[in-house]
Structure 1
């Protein structure tokens, strides 16, 4: 089983400088391709100007990769469809264009769902599973993952601009930290603020809970579907 990711910019046609936006996206994808290359079956590739896709071997860093892209291109907004399934064609590591199969079919279905179901603006990431014989447990697990993602989306929408800026800076510097934890003293030194301020912002944003939820999504998806590659 593979994990396909398809993303696109939200409202790209209304951007005043689409070229700058595309350049920002390209830089973010290139950085992810360098940093997470061992996790990628196919490198992230821009496919239609504002759309891109990539293929992961496992889910161990799935949400971290998605978040890395999201926070890198801010204030641009992206939506992501994540598909779990097999592949029907040859997989090329250096480029994801041309590859196809159930994993990508599921990712496209997930992207379409987001477009058609706004959920008050909270749903920007959706997971779909493509199996010939899905059972009730598979359906329940997929819905649980999507429910957690929606809750995380609601958390994000509650952040103030300064809180979002803090989370973004921490995420881009330290990703998901060490086992979901961050060394607050080091963050304080690098950001030039007091440890008490870091502690307060961590608490007020619920960052550790947010990261824990997303890491549990990775663990759940890997345990259920990723290990089938082994």
Structure 2
């Protein structure tokens, strides 16, 4: 009998040893709790912090796994102390019963591969990797995620809250009003931050994940 596969999401904080501890970890915990609440209908085993700077969880689809990454990346744009996450999505086997309360006490090749891949990402070119699905879709998704993160990574600490504002409100005129800036300045900001290209990359990833 073929064993059932699940979409496993694992992530850790990039360069966590270089970050200040308490306030960052508090934000990290609150973000994980917030995502569990917002996507509760789509989460099979809630995201659980397993090591100090790492979490894992199981979701109902590849698209939900993508939504988790997008949502967390958006939340991180508003973090008082800037930090970033490294993500792995792996479609793999879990041998033990699924823990519906927290992502603990489960075993299987899917989890083993996800954890090993997360470790390998520390020396890779990309911070996000999808594994265990159709090879062609997987390759295209991983390239699209690289493009997505290239734009995201270009935003500095001053850019990040403005980029987040454009995600909430795409009209640069309204964003200009919120920041008490003139319209032409905010239009140029939208272009320099590559907001349109970023949104296209996200749509491409979502289309590939359905």
1:23 positional shift: 1.0
TM-score of the superposed pair, with normalisation by structure 1 = 0.74
Q: In the alignment, does 2:84 pair up with 1:80?
A: no
The structure-2 alpha-carbon separation of the partners of 1:82 and 1:189, relative to structure 1 and needing over 3 Å to count, comes to same
Structure 1: runs of 5+ lacking an equivalent? 131-137, 223-230
Q: What do you get for the CA RMSD once the two structures are aligned?
A: 2.6
Counting only pairs closer than 5 Å after superposition, residues 148-227 of structure 1 correspond to structure 2 as 148-171=144-167, 174=168, 182-222=170-210
Q: Which residue of 2 aligns with 1:114?
A: 121
Q: Which residue of 2 aligns with 1:227?
A: none
Q: In the alignment, does 2:88 pair up with 1:92?
A: no
1:164 positional shift: 2.8
Contact 1:85 1:102 in 2 (8 A): yes
Worse-matched range after superposition: 83-92 or 141-150:
83-92
The structure-2 alpha-carbon separation of the partners of 1:211 and 1:91, relative to structure 1 and needing over 3 Å to count, comes to farther
Counting only pairs closer than 5 Å after superposition, residues 123-134 of structure 1 correspond to structure 2 as 123-129=126-132
1:33 positional shift: 1.1
The structure-2 alpha-carbon separation of the partners of 1:33 and 1:195, relative to structure 1 and needing over 3 Å to count, comes to farther
* Partner secondary structure for residue 60 of structure 1: helix
Structure 2: runs of 5+ lacking an equivalent? none
Q: Aligned residues, how many?
A: 202
1:88 positional shift: 2.5
